[in-house]
C-alpha cells in the first residue's frame, strides 16, 4: 500500500519531505510537489488507511501545507489520483485499475519527466486520434495490438494506465551533514585547550559515523579567529576511519605544523563520509599496521620534519642524476594478500626477480685504482661498505648535463661503471671528469 502527497503550487519541497519522513522511512521524491510513501507496516502504528490519511492531512496543515492525498496499491495509481481528485482518495486493494478507468488520458503526461526511468515517446496525441479519452479505454486495448502499433513504449504507457508500477520503489536517502560546531564563551589559544574542544566535537561525530556504518575520507577543521578570519585545514585520510582519538590526534598534529594566527572563538569539525572499511586478515601472513596507527605516525613525522620531507620518493623525468620528488605516502594494496587468490598465482608473482640500484642519498667518496682506464680496485672509509679488487665490470657510460645552465654548480659530466668486488658486492661508481674524483653512487641488488 502506497500514499502519494501532492502539494499546492508554491509549497516548499523541504516541508513536504519533512511531513512524509515523519510517517515512513521509505519515501520516493517524484517531483518538487509530490512524494510517495511506502505504508507497509504503518497500520499497527496509526490504524487503517483512513486514519493514516487523516493524520497526514493534519500534520501538513499544521505546517502550513495544503496537500492532496491518495492511498492505493501502487505508486502509479496514487500519483494519478492525486492529480485528478482533491482531498483524500482511498482505493481498496486490487481495485486500482477500476479507480483509474474514468480519469482523462492526458494525466499520463505527468510521467514524461520521470527521473529514474528512460523517457518513452509520449503517444497521447496518437491515442486521442484513435478516439481514446480515458485511461480505462487505453487499458482495455489488447496489449498485442498496442505493441504492434506503438512498440514497447506504448505497452509501458498502457501499464501506467492500469496503475502498474514499472519498477520497485527506490527510497530517497536524506542528505546528512557530518559536522559539529561549537561557539566558545571565551577565546582560546594553544593546542592544549583546543584538544579538549576537538575531543568534544569529534566524539559525537565518530558516533554518528558508527551508526551509519560510514568512515571519514577527509577531515576538515575550521577555526574562526577573533580577527574575523577563518583558519581552515583539510586532511585527506589514507583509508576510511572513524576512531575519535585518531582523528583528534591527526587534527592536532596538523595544527601544530600550521598553527592559527590569533585566538579562536568558534570551532567547526566536518568529515567527508564514505562507506565503512571492511578488513579480512589472513591466517598465513603477518597483519599490516592499521591505517589509524600509520596515519598517526606519518602525521607525527610531518610535524617534526615538515610536510615536504615525509612521503614516498618517486623518480621524475629529468636529466639530473638522482632527481626525485615526494608524494603522499599510500600503503600498497593488500587485496591480493587477503583475498582467496590461488596460492600458485601469488607464488609466481613473488618469485619474479628484478635488478635495482639502491642509491645513497649522498654519494660516498671512494679511492679507485685505475689500470688502462679501467677500475681495478675500489676502497672507501664509509662504515658498512666493503672494498676490494674488481672482479667484473661494465662500462663506462659517459653522461653529462646542465652545460646549458649558467650556474657551474648545476652542470655535470661523468663516467659511470658497475663493478663487482671481491667481497661479492656490486656497486655503481662514477668518476667526475672535471675533478677526477671517484664516488660510489649506490649498491646494485
**Do residues 157 and 193 share a domain?**
no
d(CA 136, CA 181): 57
> Looking at the domain assignment, is residue 81 inside a domain?
yes
Give the end of a domain, one of 275, 297, 322: 275
CB 144 within 8 A of CB 131: no
For the domain that residue 96 is a member of, what is the CATH number? 3.30.70.270
Tell me which residue range forms the domain holding 403: 357-444
d(CA 59, CA 50): 14
**Do residues 16 and 70 share a domain?**
yes
**Do residues 218 and 111 share a domain?**
no
**Do residues 105 and 13 share a domain?**
yes
Q: Would you state the pLDDT for residue 116?
A: 47
CA-to-CA dists, residue 423 to 64, 189, 248, 388, 413, angstroms? 90, 60, 51, 7, 29
Q: Would you state the pLDDT for residue 93?
A: 84
pLDDT digits (tens, 9 = 90+) for 226-238: 999 999 999 888 7
pLDDT digits (tens, 9 = 90+) for 238-292: 778 888 988 998 899 889 888 899 999 999 999 998 887 666 666 777 666 666 6
pLDDT digits (tens, 9 = 90+) for 354-409: 677 788 878 888 888 988 888 889 888 888 787 888 888 888 888 888 777 777 66
Report the range of poorest mean pLDDT among 138-147, 211-220, 313-322, 363-372: 313-322
Give the end of a domain, one of 126, 161, 196: 161
**Do residues 94 and 218 share a domain?**
no
Residues making up the chain, counted from first to last: 445
pLDDT digits (tens, 9 = 90+) for 183-214: 998 999 888 899 999 999 999 999 998 888 88
Mean pLDDT score of the chain: 82
Helix orientation angle between 244-257 and 291-305, rounded to the nearest 10 degrees: 10
**Do residues 66 and 200 share a domain?**
no
**Do residues 189 and 249 share a domain?**
yes
Higher model confidence: residue 82 or residue 338? 82
> Looking at the domain assignment, is residue 323 inside a domain?
no
> Looking at the domain assignment, is residue 331 inside a domain?
no
pLDDT digits (tens, 9 = 90+) for 373-385: 888 898 888 887 8
Q: Which residues of 255-284 are buried (b: 16+ CB within 10 A; e: fewer)?
A: beeeebeeebbbbbbbbbbbeeeeeeeeee
**Do residues 157 and 248 share a domain?**
no
The DSSP line for 202-215 is HHHHHHHHHHTTEE
**Do residues 10 and 139 share a domain?**
yes
> Looking at the domain assignment, is residue 304 inside a domain?
no
Question: Is pLDDT above 70 for 348?
Answer: no
pTM: 0.49
End-to-end Cα distance, the chain: 71
**Do residues 6 and 71 share a domain?**
yes
**Do residues 17 and 154 share a domain?**
yes
Q: Would you state the pLDDT for residue 288?
A: 66
Give the end of a domain, one of 245, 275, 305: 275
Q: How many domains does the chain have?
A: 3
Report the range of poorest mean pLDDT among 24-38, 243-257, 289-303: 289-303
- The HSE-up count of residue 45 (CA atoms within 13 Å, CB side) is 10
**Do residues 144 and 247 share a domain?**
no
For the domain that residue 203 is a member of, what is the CATH number? 3.30.1490.100
CA-to-CA dists, residue 169 to 26, 28, 37, angstroms? 8, 7, 9
Amino acid at each position: 500500500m502506497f500514499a502519494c502527497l501532492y502539494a499546492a503550487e508554491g509549497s516548499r519541497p523541504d516541508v513536504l519531505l519533512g511531513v512524509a519522513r515523519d510517517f515512513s522511512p521509505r519515501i520516493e521524491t517524484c517531483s518538487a510537489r509530490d512524494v510517495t510513501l511506502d505504508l507497509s507496516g504503518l497500520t499497527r502504528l496509526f490504524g487503517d488507511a483512513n486514519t493514516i490519511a487523516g493524520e497526514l492531512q493534519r500534520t501538513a496543515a499544521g505546517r502550513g501545507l495544503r496537500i492532496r492525498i491518495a492511498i492505493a496499491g501502487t505508486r502509479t495509481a496514487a500519483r494519478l489520483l492525486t492529480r485528478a481528485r482533491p482531498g483524500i482518495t482511498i482505493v481498496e486493494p486490487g481495485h486500482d485499475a477500476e479507480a483509474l478507468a474514468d480519469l482523462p488520458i492526458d494525466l499520463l503526461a505527468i510521467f514524461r519527466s520521470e527521473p529514474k526511468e528512460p523517457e518513452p515517446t509520449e503517444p497521447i496525441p496518437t491515442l486521442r486520434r484513435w478516439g481514446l479519452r480515458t485511461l480505462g479505454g487505453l487499458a482495455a486495448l489488447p496489449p498485442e495490438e498496442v505493441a504492434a502499433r506503438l512498440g514497447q513504449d506504448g505497452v509501458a504507457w498502457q501499464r501506467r494506465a492500469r496503475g502498474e508500477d514499472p519498477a520497485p520503489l527506490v527510497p530517497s536517502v536524506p542528505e546528512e551533514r557530518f559536522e559539529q560546531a561549537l561557539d566558545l564563551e571565551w577565546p582560546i589559544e594553544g593546542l592544549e585547550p583546543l584538544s579538549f574542544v576537538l575531543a568534544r566535537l569529534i566524539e559525537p561525530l565518530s558516533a554518528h559515523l558508527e551508526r551509519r556504518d560510514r568512515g571519514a575520507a577527509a577531515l576538515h577543521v575550521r577555526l574562526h579567529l577573533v580577527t574575523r578570519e577563518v583558519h581552515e585545514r583539510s586532511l585527506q585520510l589514507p583509508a576510511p576511519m572513524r576512531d575519535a582519538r585518531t582523528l583528534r590526534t591527526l587534527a592536532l598534529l596538523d595544527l601544530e605544523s600550521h598553527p592559527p594566527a590569533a585566538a579562536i572563538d568558534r570551532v567547526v569539525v566536518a568529515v567527508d563520509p564514505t562507506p565503512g572499511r571492511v578488513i579480512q586478515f589472513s591466517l598465513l601472513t603477518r597483519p599490516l599496521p592499521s591505517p589509524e596507527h600509520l596515519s598517526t605516525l606519518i602525521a607525527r613525522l610531518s610535524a617534526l620534519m615538515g610536510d615536504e620531507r615525509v612521503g614516498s620518493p618517486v623518480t621524475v623525468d629529468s636529466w639530473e642524476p638522482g632527481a626525485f620528488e615526494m608524494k603522499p605516502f599510500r600503503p600498497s594494496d593488500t587485496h591480493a594478500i587477503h583475498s582467496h587468490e590461488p596460492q600458485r598465482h601469488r607464488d609466481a608473482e613473488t618469485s619474479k626477480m628484478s635488478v635495482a640500484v639502491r642509491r645513497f642519498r649522498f654519494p660516498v667518496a671512494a679511492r679507485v685504482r685505475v689500470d688502462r682506464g679501467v677500475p681495478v680496485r675500489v676502497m672507501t672509509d664509509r662504515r658498512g661498505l666493503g672494498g676490494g679488487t674488481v672482479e667484473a665490470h661494465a662500462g663506462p657510460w659517459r653522461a653529462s648535463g646542465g652545460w646549458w645552465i649558467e650556474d657551474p654548480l648545476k652542470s655535470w659530466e661523468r663516467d659511470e661503471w658497475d663493478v663487482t668486488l671481491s667481497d661479492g658486492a656490486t656497486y655503481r661508481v662514477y668518476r667526475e671528469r672535471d675533478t677526477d674524483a671517484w664516488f660510489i653512487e649506490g649498491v646494485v641488488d
